[in-house]
Amino acid sequence: MANIAQPSVQSLLIEMQFNGQALSTGTAFVVQTAKGPHLITNRHNVTGRRQDTNAPLSPTGGLPNEIAIVHNRKNFLGQWLFKKESLYVGETPRWREHPTLGAKADFVALPLTDLADVEVYPYDPANPGPAIFVGAADTVSVIGFPFGMTAGGAFAVWATGFLASEPVVDFNDLPIQLIDCRSRQGQSGSPVIAYRSGGMVAMADGGAAAFSGPVSKFIGIYSGRINAESDIGIVWKASAVQQLIASL
C-alpha cells in the first residue's frame, strides 16, 4: 500500500442512525470469521446506551436501528462508498456479544451483508502481528475518527499515547488494559495498535529484530475513558476480541 499506512484504511467511520436520522458517530473495523466478514465496534455504539447506566447516549434520546459504514472502494485506494446495515431483525439484535462476558464487554460483532465493490482490510486478533515488546509506557495508537473527523477523505486519524497498565494485568477483573491518550468522542470502537516504523525493534522474548519497513501489533479495541475528566482510556484486549470471533 504505497505511501499509505494500512491501519489508516483499516479503521472505518460509522454513523449510528434511526431510520436515516444521524444520532452519533464512531469507529469500527472488519475481521474475518468462519461465518464471513464481521464489523467490530463498541456495544454502546450499537445499543445507543451508556454501558454503566444504560441511559441513551444521544441528546435526542433516540436509539439506533441501523448503522452507516464508510467502506473502502474495491481497487480504488482513496475512494470510499457508503453501506448500511440493519441492527435488528424485527426486535432481535443482529450483533453478537462476548460468549461469556455478554453485555459486560463493550464490543460486539455485526455480520456484514453488503460488500459489493468493497475492499476489506481486516484485522486478525488471533494473529495480531509480530511479537514486538509492548509494555507499560510504550507507545500505542488509537486509530479512528474523533468527533466524526477524518484526516482527509475517509482516512483515519492517529492519536498516539502510552500503555498505562501492565499488559498481563486485567483492569477491574476484566480483559482490559489502560492507555494514556487524548482520545475523544467518535473514537469509540477504534483499533489500538503498537506501530513501529522499522529498524531495530524490541521483541517480547527480550531480544531485538530488524525490520525493513513498518510493523504493527493489534492490541485491542478502544471503548472510552475511565471518566470525562481523565485521559486514561479503556482498551479491551485482543485476546477477548478473538474469543468473540471464535464463538461466531
**Residue reference for cell 474469543:** 243
Q: What cell numbers appear for 208 in the block?
A: 531485538
Q: Quick one: pLDDT at residue 183?
A: 85
Q: Quick one: pLDDT at residue 148?
A: 96
* Residues of the chain under the 70 pLDDT cut: 1-2
Q: Quick one: pLDDT at residue 184?
A: 82
| pTM reported for the whole predicted model | 0.96
Q: Quick one: pLDDT at residue 164?
A: 97
Q: Quick one: pLDDT at residue 87?
A: 98
Task: Identify the CATH assignment for 139-238 out of 3.40.50, 2.40.10, 2.50.20, 2.60.120.
Answer: 2.40.10
Question: Where in the chain are all domains bearing CATH 2.40.10?
Answer: 7-119, 139-238
| Class of 7-119 in CATH | mainly beta
Q: What does each C-alpha distance from 3 to 192, 199, 213, 214 come to in angstroms? A: 21, 18, 12, 11
pLDDT (tens digit, 9 = 90+) per residue, 164-214? 999 999 999 999 999 999 888 899 999 999 999 989 999 999 999 999 989
Q: What cell numbers appear for 217 in the block?
A: 501489533
